[in-house]
Structure 1
């Protein structure tokens, strides 16, 4: 026993009334230790029974109606503190007295009195927990900055070794504490400390775990998280399962930051006197609810069809766990809670495996696309649109995907030269796996587009098709997080490829028109040669224009670039030739039949190019058409 406690128990210079439990024992100098007189331990026991029994019996829940219906801690806080003090004194007296007096009638009496006191404290403990559910809800408790701040605010004043000024200090402290949750937490700790020190930890824990576990389980249920079997998940329609996933995504933050965090703070505070008890208690309260919460993603990942469009929900759940992992690791830091953390990590693994498999299915869908119908106007293929929308959305999860793809580069079984990826990759500074994976999927798409370009009978349209689609890819990369994954080097190289495709289109599609005009307009010597050049230009320009007028270039920048280059070659060349010979042609009969276009006509027609309407093309199906009628 600490020296301070023994001194306050035995050597107080004053006597106190039964209502004041502190320092009531007579000094040892007042009685001797001769065989004819009571021993010191007997005197202590006698005095304890005499002074403490009235207070304890007053609150015997089986003795009076008053004791049954009244709460000690609610009715009279000062008397509640006295009650606890006398119980502790009784326990000390019993320990002092028990040696050599194990069969004593006084010891039996003291034990009976202790049992009455424990029943009272059990009742008080239950009432405080039950009546203060609103004040002890996890949200209120979890708003506290730390467990230490809670303890320092109130509970430190409830130390069992406090001296005569305890009641005054406690009352002053309670006056300073304004919210009811702090008072309730302090009272619970006071009772728990007393019951544990008196050997009634089991009874205290039983009450606490029953009430608090029901709160946790109810909280998980109200958040929309329920336990589902593997067969239930497998048979569930995707829309119904997605609703469950959305409930889970909304629940995980609240559960971690409020529900579990609040319970950990409360449990640590109430059972601060015993690490083993608070560990056991917290695990008992939260394990079932936590396992349901953190087991749900694993269940979904293992028992859902691996479809590319479902991967975003899996990544959302992965994010929900990984973003809150520091809190999960801190809250469930007990050894007994290791299975909860293990479940959370297992869910991450399963979600990662789902993602890897779904990306392989997505790659396979690109490779298996068998559409052979050319896109009208050499526009953007729906395969390109679908793939780039998908990859752009995936790039929003780049941090998560970096973890998932770290050990599984997608092109590991498909070695290709690094130049095909569009960036420099060396042993000294290798590209991250996610960068290589995204570049690989785009490369698979580009290879597929090369095949589809061959379906055009007009080779020039093949190159316009490639320019259109690669430009769409580049724009999507530049305007999404793919830009940060693939980098400026990738963008520069593919920008150059777009320009190369466009230049090839111009050469193949319009070279006959440009070649019809002489480089030097004044080098033509005869009028017949001038007429022939006009006739040839008229025919070729009209023919090529009609063919190319159905083409479309949706990207305004690329469209303007192509038209500017055509204008430089065709409009300026024709304008120079027209200006050089139009005066002579006007003197000829039927000149309008020979000179069908003035330069402005050519300019207007070139300006009107590439606004044709595009057909829907073909469609990349990343989900079976019957998926909504089947299980996920």
Structure 2
């Protein structure tokens, strides 16, 4: 409006100094009052705004023209769409301005009618953009694009040409460019509707469409809502399949589904913190509660047994590893219950694991098999328990969290210096290290008990050597090594050698004792004959008894054979070489000198392969007990 015109609206004509009117007229308020026949400034603004807004808004009235009903304003003409939004914003401002001066003006009624038409149009556009771009605005696309595309553009993006909608990154594909434009359109419409007092209508459309996308995403990821009774009645094989689905789903749901939805919601409703919070919460609450509630149901209502612990640990990792993202995405106060559900699941999963470890200890303690393992080989309990513990050690980081607050084993129950690492009050061992060391100790104590079932003490020691060697190797070749430490290994490797030495002494000592300490000493032919016969008898007895023995570990087997051969062969070879000619002059010397040193060496080298297949635990069992515990093998995790 020209400056002269504005002055004429606001001020009366200047009074000439020669006027005959009394001076009091200059002070009269009526001299400055608006003339009833002249419009106020706000009326003039509204008149001009209505004049500009009416043709634009009515053109796109979906209830009056077929064109407006079937055509998308934002798709048909983006420049006109921007003009439409600006017109609505100007109309809203003019209405507010006029209402402050004359709330009963007829122009407000006319403007409100136009505003209702415009809002219906924008509702239609908002719905069409959300519906037509479901694929382009899926959470995965949004979350992926957000890492390299700015979603913080304001409505000023529309002040320039259409190309300004595109983010200044030429590597963005055409599809991404279209979806970026759709996001910007949604933001522009949302801000216009919210500022015009139509936030409720805008949010209703957004929540319905976006919640359906989130719910559909959760369903497609294979996550379903189960009641406590359904979980309790579910076979573990079925539950394990559900857990596998959940493990795959939780990463995608957190990093893609919920993250993408949060990004989109934050962008579209960036003008109002309260609106974007309530909107995001309502859209994601149900799906998130189903997702994060499933582990709690499994932990609380599945029948507990040690072999299930690995899947439970996987679920614990699924939440804990994604916790930074969960905490960031659900940072609103209204989403606190979602994070609380995730934390509750962690707590229940931790309780399940601690209970399962206690059950595992009980399984070892309650094993009642009494039949000695054939060949003094490795007991199935050793194999199963160490396989179980070696797999558990793969979860050392998670177990450290779970066991951090667990009470340590009572020190008065532990043999002195058993652990092989510091357990002082000044430098306490980690809880997981103490737990693993304790469980292995429980196993070894049980094996000591089972060794007593051998009538031959030498076989009992060989049994202990075999089983402890298996434990040591499992520790060496798994993460247990880092939990227990090299001192633990050194200590138990020494025990293996001690057991092996006791076996040699008790199993082969009488063979060694049958030979003189000075094999080359002069002696009578009868004495020589007596020594040869004594050696033959004792060697035959020892070899016959020990031939059924098995030492599955090649390193231990070679160690024992070399040690036995070094002690027996050295003495026998010296005696044989010193007195062989004496025996050759005797009658029936062949029946007396039955073994050449090479024959003794061959017999010894054939030992410890037994008649048993060392490749399976069942081959070491003479009579498996009906009470044997379940097998804990790595393939149980898959």
What is the TM-score normalised by the length of structure 2? Answer: 0.90
The equivalent of 1:577 in structure 2 is 575
**CA spacing shift, 1:246–1:131, aligned 2, 3 Å:** same
Say whether residues 1:43 and 2:44 are aligned partners.
Answer: yes
Q: 1:537-563 deviations in whole A, cap 9, x for unaligned?
A: 011001110000100000000000000
Contact 2:139 2:258 in 1 (8 A): yes
The equivalent of 2:6 in structure 1 is 28
Q: 1:449-503 deviations in whole A, cap 9, x for unaligned?
A: 0000000000000000000000000000000010110010100000000000000
The equivalent of 1:100 in structure 2 is 101
The equivalent of 2:81 in structure 1 is 80
Contact 2:451 2:461 in 1 (8 A): yes
Say whether residues 1:516 and 2:517 are aligned partners.
Answer: no
Contact 1:449 1:466 in 2 (8 A): yes
The equivalent of 1:65 in structure 2 is 66
Q: 1:382-433 deviations in whole A, cap 9, x for unaligned?
A: 0000100000111111111111111114524863244223333211211101
> 1:419 aligns to what SS in structure 2?
coil
Contact 1:379 1:469 in 2 (8 A): yes
Moved more, 523-532 or 541-550: 523-532
The equivalent of 1:435 in structure 2 is 433
- After superposition, residues 307-456 of structure 1 pair within 5 angstroms as 307-409=305-407, 411-412=409-410, 415-456=413-454
**CA spacing shift, 1:291–1:500, aligned 2, 3 Å:** same
CA distance in 2, matches of 1:135, 1:530: 99
**CA spacing shift, 1:488–1:30, aligned 2, 3 Å:** farther
The equivalent of 1:172 in structure 2 is 164
Contact 1:52 1:90 in 2 (8 A): yes
Moved more, 51-60 or 96-105: 96-105
**CA spacing shift, 1:80–1:444, aligned 2, 3 Å:** same
CA distance in 1, matches of 2:593, 2:575: 11
CA distance in 2, matches of 1:30, 1:318: 77
Structure 1 residue 111: Cα displacement:
0.7
CA distance in 1, matches of 2:245, 2:411: 39
Contact 1:409 1:434 in 2 (8 A): no
Q: 1:83-103 deviations in whole A, cap 9, x for unaligned?
A: 000000000100110023212
> 1:143 aligns to what SS in structure 2?
helix
Q: 1:283-339 deviations in whole A, cap 9, x for unaligned?
A: 000000000000000001100111000111100100100110000001001110100
Contact 2:78 2:162 in 1 (8 A): no
**CA spacing shift, 1:428–1:175, aligned 2, 3 Å:** closer
Structure 1 residue 175: Cα displacement:
8.7
Moved more, 30-39 or 460-469: 30-39
Q: 1:207-241 deviations in whole A, cap 9, x for unaligned?
A: 00000000000000011000000000001111111
CA distance in 1, matches of 2:400, 2:5: 75
CA distance in 2, matches of 1:262, 1:434: 38
Say whether residues 1:150 and 2:127 are aligned partners.
Answer: no
CA distance in 1, matches of 2:629, 2:319: 27
CA distance in 1, matches of 2:597, 2:558: 19
The equivalent of 1:137 in structure 2 is 138
The equivalent of 2:116 in structure 1 is 115
CA distance in 2, matches of 1:418, 1:269: 64
Contact 1:409 1:437 in 2 (8 A): no
Structure 1 residue 31: Cα displacement:
4.2
CA distance in 2, matches of 1:459, 1:616: 18
Structure 1 residue 37: Cα displacement:
2.1
Structure 1 residue 616: Cα displacement:
4.0
CA distance in 2, matches of 1:575, 1:601: 11
CA distance in 2, matches of 1:361, 1:27: 93
CA distance in 2, matches of 1:283, 1:299: 23
> 1:144 aligns to what SS in structure 2?
helix
Contact 2:381 2:629 in 1 (8 A): no
Q: 1:364-388 deviations in whole A, cap 9, x for unaligned?
A: 0100000000000000000000100
CA distance in 2, matches of 1:336, 1:27: 54
CA distance in 1, matches of 2:284, 2:246: 17
**CA spacing shift, 1:433–1:299, aligned 2, 3 Å:** same
Contact 2:150 2:167 in 1 (8 A): no
**CA spacing shift, 1:623–1:577, aligned 2, 3 Å:** closer
The equivalent of 2:27 in structure 1 is none
CA distance in 2, matches of 1:504, 1:453: 13
**CA spacing shift, 1:145–1:125, aligned 2, 3 Å:** closer
CA distance in 1, matches of 2:572, 2:255: 74
CA distance in 2, matches of 1:335, 1:443: 48
Structure 1 residue 171: Cα displacement:
4.3
CA distance in 1, matches of 2:93, 2:318: 51
Say whether residues 1:536 and 2:555 are aligned partners.
Answer: no
Say whether residues 1:52 and 2:53 are aligned partners.
Answer: yes
Contact 1:410 1:440 in 2 (8 A): no
Contact 1:146 1:265 in 2 (8 A): no
Say whether residues 1:283 and 2:269 are aligned partners.
Answer: no
Aligned residues: 594
Contiguous gaps of at least 5 residues in structure 2: 12-33, 613-618, 633-638
Structure 1 residue 180: Cα displacement:
1.5
Moved more, 67-76 or 521-530: 521-530
Contact 2:368 2:628 in 1 (8 A): no
**CA spacing shift, 1:622–1:331, aligned 2, 3 Å:** farther
Contact 2:376 2:620 in 1 (8 A): no
CA distance in 2, matches of 1:39, 1:146: 52
Q: 1:233-282 deviations in whole A, cap 9, x for unaligned?
A: 00111111111111101100000011000000000000000000000000
Structure 1 residue 104: Cα displacement:
1.3
CA distance in 2, matches of 1:424, 1:304: 38
Contiguous gaps of at least 5 residues in structure 1: 1-9, 14-25, 626-632
Contact 1:421 1:443 in 2 (8 A): no
